Amino acid sequence: MREMARRIAAPVQRSGQGGKMLVPMLVVLAALAMGVAATAIMLQIKERDKRLAKERELLLMVAERDDLKGQVEDVQRAKSKIEEELTRSRAELNAAQDKLAQAASARDALAKSVDDRQKEVDRLTKNLEQARSEHKALTSQVEEFSSERSTMQQQLADLEKAKSELESKVMQLSEKPTVELDKIVVTNDQSGAGAGAAMPVSATSGGPMNGQIVVINRDYDFIVINLGKKQGLSIGQEFQIVRGEQVLGRVKVEKIYDELSAAAILPNSHKDSIREGDQVKAL
């Protein structure tokens, strides 16, 4: 700018004094021109700076747009992934709800089954207690029966022994002649026949079958009478025991020998009053 002012002022200086007045004007113009040029240059610099700033801003905005676009794409991809996971989670939730409903149904059924089983256990426990009580009672009864059986076995052994002795005695008596049986005398003072009186066998054909007691077994309620096969007796036949006009009881024939028979004293008989020598009459 200074060089330009110098070039403008040189001709003026050579033109003389007339041109002295133009010098200040030219200087002012040169200054104005320099100011305008400087202003233009400053404006250009500012415009360039603004343009560069705008370009930088644009580049930043483009970069930010690209970045935002990438972020949007990432967000969209994440959204799609989230939607897929949400869909899968909903399906899993529905499946879990179905399983939960099935589990609740199974739980209710199990609870009902447990209640039924508890009732069954209570019933079985009650039955078990009742069975134990019954078992205890049965055990007590079995013990009583065992004791009774032992007693009965002992009684049966005694009965067999007494029976054997009775049969032996009957056999001994049956081997004796019938006449000797007629010699049995009733020793009871209350008998219908007097002391020393004999009761002979009266078993004639067609007549009543009467005999006499020759042996009494009070332990087992047996008697032996002097009537047997020869007199026509049969097993199961019943006789009446009499002493004079007094009826003492009844007997039933259970075993028969030739001239003797064993008979059981029937219930409701006055067995304590029966004596050897009492008379028996067929019914």
Q: In this predicted structure, what is the pLDDT of residue 260?
A: 92
Q: Are residues 18 and 113 in the same domain?
A: yes
**DSSP tag of 231:** G
- How many domains in the chain? 2
65 in any annotated domain:
yes
Contact partners, residue 223, CB within 8 Å, separation at least 6: 213, 215, 216, 217, 251, 262, 263, 265, 274
Residue pointed to by tokens 């040169």: 30
Q: Are residues 86 and 184 in the same domain?
A: no
Please give the structure tokens belonging to residue 14: 């050579």
| Alpha-carbon gap, residue 85 to 149, rounded angstroms | 88
Sequential DSSP letters for 18-32: GGGGHHHHHHHHHHH
Q: Are residues 47 and 119 in the same domain?
A: yes
Q: Look at residue 122 and tell me whether its pLDDT is greater than 50.
A: yes
pLDDT digits (tens, 9 = 90+) for 226-249: 999 999 999 999 999 999 999 999
Q: Look at residue 3 and tell me whether its pLDDT is greater than 70.
A: no
pLDDT band, very low/low/confident/very high, at 195 (cuts 50, 70, 90):
very low
Q: Are residues 125 and 207 in the same domain?
A: no
| Cβ count near 200 (within 10 Å) | 15
Q: What is the pTM of this model?
A: 0.37
Q: Look at residue 196 and tell me whether its pLDDT is greater than 50.
A: no
Q: Are residues 9 and 87 in the same domain?
A: yes
230 in any annotated domain:
yes
Q: Look at residue 277 and tell me whether its pLDDT is greater than 90.
A: yes
More confident residue, 153 or 38: 38
Q: Give the residue-averaged pLDDT of 262-276.
A: 93
pLDDT band, very low/low/confident/very high, at 61 (cuts 50, 70, 90):
confident
Q: Give the residue-averaged pLDDT of 59-81.
A: 87
pLDDT digits (tens, 9 = 90+) for 7-35: 655 555 555 555 566 777 778 888 888 88
Q: In this predicted structure, what is the pLDDT of residue 193?
A: 36
| Alpha-carbon gap, residue 282 to 66, rounded angstroms | 145
Q: Are residues 1 and 121 in the same domain?
A: yes
List beta partners, residue 246. 243
210 in any annotated domain:
yes
Q: In this predicted structure, what is the pLDDT of residue 161?
A: 72
Amino acid at 30: A
Q: Look at residue 96 and tell me whether its pLDDT is greater than 50.
A: yes
67 in any annotated domain:
yes
100 in any annotated domain:
yes
138 in any annotated domain:
no
141 in any annotated domain:
no
**Of 130, 163, 185, which closes a domain?**
130
> Which residue range forms the structural domain that includes residue 208?
177-282
Q: 226: domain CATH number?
A: 2.40.10.340
Q: Give the residue-averaged pLDDT of 147-156.
A: 75
More confident residue, 60 or 23: 60
167 in any annotated domain:
no
| Alpha-carbon gap, residue 243 to 122, rounded angstroms | 71
Q: Are residues 218 and 276 in the same domain?
A: yes
Give the three-state DSSP class for 196.
Answer: coil
Q: In this predicted structure, what is the pLDDT of residue 278?
A: 95
Q: Are residues 112 and 186 in the same domain?
A: no
Half-sphere exposure of 154 (CA within 13 A, CB side): 5
**Of 101, 130, 159, which closes a domain?**
130
Question: For all residues of the chain together, what is the average pLDDT?
Answer: 79
| Cβ count near 49 (within 10 Å) | 10
Sign of CA dihedral 82, 88, 92, 97: positive
